[in-house]
């Protein structure tokens, strides 16, 4: 029998097992499948399930799904697959609880993408890759994307939610304006005699995309800053489809979901790839990852068909519940019965993306580069607000800070300095 003041220690492994067991009660079951038909051999995927993280209030697990569609070679896609996750995790403070960790993800995803691009460009001058990067933590899905691969969500309640952006110059007017304002030129391929053909491209280089990792030879106004969307599913779950442009150039989101209705993830991915190749032939690498996020008591293939919705409803990305009814008071602490939007931001400006709008700013080390995580001595770091026209009362010494090389990278992406020698390359 222990005396007063005596403490019994519990091995860390036992604590982790206890926390993991408790967590599984609340967490969904994740089941995935993937399929690919290769034309150029430049599509790569990353799947890491049940990654464990020790945090301030115990241990939590998360899963990662990445799709990397390379162009002008596979080097950028391979490098990003091998390094992006570590760079994202390195940008998150280690002492956050579960909710804080999820809240910190959007900023960390931006920092991780930019660092991966910066490090790769120090090793090679050519090759680039699109990226669709998905982190599932509990019922929260965080998606970061550059390029034209896409991630869609079909929640159990029905509807289609687009969790990524398309950074093709042909369809994204805002990105065309940004590229030209930063010093790039946008136009179609000129075959001589004034005849122009094909999609809009960025010159020099002829890339069809406005955002990617790599592609230094095209110009640094082709930025690695991702569009980020974060949503929370209801406890009924849903299905994610992550596919390269080889799929989306051939079939729509609705067609992708319909062709695999009721099938488990592995068969679903195969059917989607088969449907896309059947429509237009194998003209590009065609890759698909399907992830079912399910309550533990439900079988893998039980995602119900969506409710019949009008076209207007499909256009509506997120619905907001009203809370003015007295009957809602009783439901205040109940599980939401629809997808809830937590975060969405697509700006290419680092000063906007690295600014912290949640109450965690005091948890980030003051004299640490917000992108590459190297320590900077007082007086050496440059505030992301330096030179900003932001109307808010921000001072040049207000953090977060960038080291000198990351500040140069930021300036180049925003067209504030020359991005150096540029060499022509094959188009995407």
Query: Which of 78-87, 256-265, 405-414 has the lowest average pLDDT?
Result: 405-414
Tens-digit pLDDT profile for residues 349-362: 998 898 765 444 44
Query: Which of 81-85, 130-134, 225-229, 407-411 has the lowest average pLDDT?
Result: 407-411
Integer-rounded Cα Rg, in Å, for the chain is 23
- 286 touches 246 (CB < 8 A): yes
Return the pLDDT at 290.
98
- Rounded to a whole number of angstroms, the distance between the first and last alpha carbons of the chain is 72
Tens-digit pLDDT profile for residues 27-67: 899 999 999 999 999 999 999 998 998 876 678 899 999 99
Tens-digit pLDDT profile for residues 198-226: 899 998 889 999 999 999 888 888 999 99
Tens-digit pLDDT profile for residues 157-184: 999 999 999 999 999 999 999 999 988 8
Return the pLDDT at 293.
98
Return the pLDDT at 296.
83
Return the pLDDT at 315.
34
- 154 touches 163 (CB < 8 A): no
For residue 244, what are the β-bridge partners?
Answer: none
- 407 touches 381 (CB < 8 A): no
pLDDT at 379 over 90: no
pLDDT at 369 over 50: yes
pLDDT at 96 over 80: yes
Return the pLDDT at 357.
53
- 339 touches 232 (CB < 8 A): yes
For residue 227, what are the β-bridge partners?
Answer: 145
pLDDT at 387 over 70: no
Tens-digit pLDDT profile for residues 234-245: 999 999 999 999
What are the distances in angstroms from CA 25 to CA 50, 228, 296?
14, 28, 8
Question: Mean pLDDT score of the chain, rounded to an integer?
Answer: 82
> Considering only CA atoms, which of 149, 168, 166, 154 is closest in space to residue 46?
149
User: How far, in Å, CA of 94 to CA of 102, rounded?
Assistant: 12
Instruction: Quote the crossing angle between the two packed helices 98-121 and 404-413, to the nearest 10°.
Output: 80
Return the pLDDT at 1.
45
Buried b or exposed e, range 13-32, using 16+ CB within 10 angstroms: eeeeeebbeebeeebbebbb
List of long-range contacts for 198-206, beta carbons under 8 Å, 24+ apart: 199/168, 199/169, 199/170, 200/169, 200/170, 200/176, 201/169, 201/427, 202/169, 204/422, 204/423, 204/424, 205/422, 205/424, 205/425, 205/427, 206/424, 206/425, 206/426, 206/427, 206/428
> Considering only CA atoms, which of 133, 129, 162 is closest in space to residue 62?
133
pLDDT band at 397 (very low <50, low <70, confident <90, very high): low
> Considering only CA atoms, which of 19, 38, 39 is closest in space to residue 27?
19
User: How far, in Å, CA of 145 to CA of 136, rounded?
Assistant: 15
Which DSSP letter does residue 363 get? G
pLDDT at 348 over 80: yes
- 32 touches 70 (CB < 8 A): no
Q: Which DSSP string do the residues of 276-297 spell out, in sequence order?
A: HHHHH-S-S-EEEEEEEEE-TT
Which DSSP letter does residue 187 get? E
pLDDT at 272 over 60: yes
If 0-12 CB within 10 Å is exposed, 13-18 middle and 19+ buried, where does residue 379 land? exposed
User: How far, in Å, CA of 158 to CA of 177, rounded?
Assistant: 35
Return the pLDDT at 138.
95
Tens-digit pLDDT profile for residues 287-337: 999 999 999 875 555 455 554 443 333 333 333 333 333 333 333 333 446
- 66 touches 132 (CB < 8 A): yes
Return the pLDDT at 386.
73
pLDDT at 256 over 80: yes
> Considering only CA atoms, which of 398, 417, 420 is closest in space to residue 408?
417
């Amino acid at each position: 029998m222990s005396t007063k003041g005596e403490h019994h220690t519990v091995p860390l492994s036992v604590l982790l097992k206890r926390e993991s067991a408790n967590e599984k009660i609340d967490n969904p079951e994740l089941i995935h499948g993937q399929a690919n038909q290769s034309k150029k051999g430049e599509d790569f995927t990353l799947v890491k399930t049940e990654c464990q993280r020790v945090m301030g209030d115990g241990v939590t697990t998360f899963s990662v799904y990445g799709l990397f569609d390379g162009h002008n070679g596979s080097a950028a896609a391979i490098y990003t697959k091998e390094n992006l996750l570590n760079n994202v995790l390195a940008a998150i403070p280690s002492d956050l609880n579960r909710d804080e960790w999820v809240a910190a993800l959007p900023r960390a995803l931006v920092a991780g993408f930019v660092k991966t691009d910066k490090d790769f460009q120090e090793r090679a001058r050519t090759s680039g890759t699109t990226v669709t990067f998905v982190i599932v933590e509990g019922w929260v899905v965080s998606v970061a994307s550059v390029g034209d691969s896409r991630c869609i969500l079909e929640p159990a309640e029905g509807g289609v939610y687009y969790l990524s952006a398309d950074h093709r110059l042909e369809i994204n007017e805002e990105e065309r304006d940004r590229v030209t304002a930063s010093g790039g030129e946008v136009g179609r391929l000129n075959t001589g005699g004034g005849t122009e053909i094909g999609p809009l491209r960025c010159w020099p280089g002829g890339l069809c995309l406005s955002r990617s990792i790599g592609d230094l030879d095209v110009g640094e106004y082709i930025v690695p800053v991702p569009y980020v969307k974060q949503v929370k599913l209801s406890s009924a779950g849903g299905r994610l489809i992550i596919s390269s442009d080889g799929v989306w150039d051939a079939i729509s989101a609705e067609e992708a979901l319909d062709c695999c209705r009721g099938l488990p993830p592995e068969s679903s991915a195969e059917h989607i790839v088969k449907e896309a190749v059947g429509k237009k032939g194998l003209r590009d690498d065609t890759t698909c990852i399907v992830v079912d996020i399910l309550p533990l008591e439900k079988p893998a293939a039980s995602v119900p068909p969506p409710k019949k919705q009008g076209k207007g409803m499909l256009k509506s990305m997120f619905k907001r519940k009203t809370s003015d009814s007295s009957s809602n008071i009783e439901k205040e602490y109940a599980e939401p019965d629809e997808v809830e939007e937590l975060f969405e931001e697509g700006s290419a400006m680092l000063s906007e993306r690295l600014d912290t709008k949640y109450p965690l700013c005091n948890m980030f080390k003051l004299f640490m580069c917000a992108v590459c995580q190297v320590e900077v001595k007082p007086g050496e770091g440059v505030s992301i607000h330096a030179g900003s026209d932001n109307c808010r009362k921000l001072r040049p010494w207000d953090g977060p800070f960038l080291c000198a090389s990351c500040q140069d990278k930021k300036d180049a992406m925003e067209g504030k300095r020359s991005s150096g020698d540029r060499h022509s390359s094959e188009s995407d």
